[in-house]
Structure 1
Amino acid sequence: MKRQRRSFSPEFKHDSASLVVDQGYSMTEASRAVDVHENTLRKWVRQLEAERGGSTPKSKALTPEQQRIQELEARVNRLEREKTILKKATALLMSDDLKSTR
């Protein structure tokens, strides 16, 4: 029988990776303690170390600072798209206005 795929919150991933990074647990000990595969925990540890090094991950961030950065980047992207739409709408309205005044 196939094991059902589990999902973990960013807080759980952060706490699990902190066991290795901050508290000195071995990868094997920590993976047994939190009941995840060692390779999964290794990936979380690499991501946590990268985030603490200042890089923003492509996946869901583990640290609160990186989560905030991702939220702000998403907001900037949305605002840029809205600005582009408004520019196009303004240009369209201006061209219609010029046609009607002639």
Structure 2
Amino acid sequence: MSRKRRSFTTEYKVEAAHRVIDSGRSIAEVARELGLGEPLLGKWVADERRRVEAAAVHGEAPLSAAERAELLRLRKQVAEQEKDIVFLKKASAYFAAMQQNKTGSS
């Protein structure tokens, strides 16, 4: 029986990598905690360290843990609001059509 391949969001990968980078804990320890393979988490940590170094080279500060958390929260909020907007557009179109039917049938 084959295992289904899991996929992870970029946000999850960055957050997992920062659990290692920010805390100073080992990759093995964090990988066990998250139920991930060490090589996979190690790759994420290496990628994130490269990203942080690249930001430093350009004179930019990488996001702090609080800023990352706020960014995640805001992204979730935007996604919810986008769903609400889609729903409201459909509801508006529905009620406009209903209004047209009322005025057109008189």
TM-score, normalised with respect to structure 1 = 0.52
Distance 1:46 1:28 in 2: 14
- Map 1:80-95 onto structure 2 (within 5 A): none
Q: 5+ unaligned residues in a row in structure 1: which ranges?
A: 56-62, 65-102
Higher helix share: 2
Q: 5+ unaligned residues in a row in structure 2: which ranges?
A: 56-61, 64-106
Please name the residue that 1:94 is paired with. Answer: none
Identity %: 35
- Map 1:1-102 onto structure 2 (within 5 A): 1-54=1-54
Task: Quote how far apart the aligned CAs of 1:15 are.
Answer: 0.8
Distance 1:10 1:46 in 2: 14
Give CA deviations for 1:51-100 in whole Å, capped at 9, x if unaligned. 00117xxxxxxx77xxxxxxxxxxxxxxxxxxxxxxxxxxxxxxxxxxxx
Which stretches of structure 1, 4 residues or longer, exceed 2 Å deviation after superposition?
Answer: none
Distance 2:54 2:19 in 1: 20
TM-score, normalised with respect to structure 2 = 0.50
Give CA deviations for 1:6-29 in whole Å, capped at 9, x if unaligned. 000111101110111111111111
Partner letter of residue 12 of structure 1?
Answer: Y
Distance 1:23 1:15 in 2: 12
Distance 1:38 1:2 in 2: 21
